[in-house]
Structure 1
Amino acid sequence: MTLLAVAVVITAVLCVFSLLLNFGVIRRLREHTEMLTKLTSQSGSSAVMHPAGTALPALTATTADGEQVAVGREGRSTLIGFFTPSCPACAERLPEFAALAARMPGGADQVVAVAVGDLAETADLRAKLTGVARVVAEPDRGPLGQAFGVEGYPAFAMLDSSLVVFSGFDLRGVPLPEPV
Structure 2
Amino acid sequence: MLSSIVAAIALVTLLNVILTIGVVRRLRDQHTVLESLRHQQPGPTVGAVVGDFAGAATTGHSITPKSLAGRETLVAFFSNECEPCRTKLPRFVNYVIQQQLAKHDVLAVVVGQERDSSEFVSQLAPVCTVATEEFKGEIAAAFQVSSYPTTVRLRSEGGNLVVSEIDVDLDAAAAL
> Which TM-score band applies after superposition, normalised by the shorter structure?
0.5 to 0.7
Correspondences of 1:79-94 after superposition (within 5 Å):
79-94=74-89
TM-score, with normalisation over the residues of structure 1?
0.64
Say whether the 8 Å CA contact 2:92–2:170 is kept in structure 1.
no
The structure-2 alpha-carbon separation of the partners of 1:61 and 1:172, relative to structure 1 and needing over 3 Å to count, comes to same
What's the counterpart of residue 103 of structure 2?
108
For 1:127 and 1:45, how far apart are their aligned partners in 2? 35
Cα displacement (A) at 1:131: 1.0
SS at match of 2:116: coil
2:62 equivalent in structure 1: 68
Aligned-pair CA distance for 1:46: 3.7
For structure 1, list consecutive stretches of 5 or more residues without a partner in the other structure. 1-42
The answer to whether residue 125 in structure 2 is matched with residue 120 in structure 1 is no
Could you say which structure has the larger radius of gyration? 2
CA distance in 2, matches of 1:174, 1:45: 26
Distance 2:170 2:91 in 1: 12
Q: How does 1:161-172 map to 2 (within 5 A)?
A: 161=156, 162-168=161-167, 171-172=168-169
CA distance in 1, matches of 2:78, 2:55: 16
Gaps of 5+ in 2: 1-37
What is the CA RMSD across the aligned residues, in angstroms?
2.8
For each residue in 1:70-96, what CA deviation from the matched residue of structure 2 results, as whole angstroms up to 9, or x when unmatched? 446332011000111111110111111
* Residues 1:51 and 1:131: Cα distance change in structure 2 (over 3 Å): same
> 1:108 Cα shift?
1.0
| Structure 2 CA distance for partners of 1:106 and 1:45, relative to 1, 3 Å | farther
**Percent identity (aligned):** 24
TM-score (norm 2): 0.65
In structure 2, the CA distance between the partners of 1:59 and 1:67, relative to structure 1 (3 Å rule), is same
Residue aligning to 2:72: 77
State the match for 1:153 in structure 2: 148
* Contact 1:166 1:174 survives alignment (8 Å): no
SS of the residue corresponding to residue 114 of structure 2 reads coil
Q: Report the alpha carbon displacement of residue 63 of structure 1 after superposing the two structures with TM.
A: 0.8
8 Å CA contact 2:78–2:85 kept in 1: the answer is yes
Q: Give the superposition deviation at 1:61.
A: 2.0
* Alpha-carbon contact 1:79-1:157 (below 8 Å) kept: yes
Residues 103 and 45 of structure 1, relative CA distance in 2, 3 Å threshold:
farther
Q: Report the Cα offset of residue 64 of structure 1.
A: 1.7
* Separation in 2, partners of 1:75, 1:56: 14
8 Å contact 1:158–1:175 — kept in the other structure? Answer: no
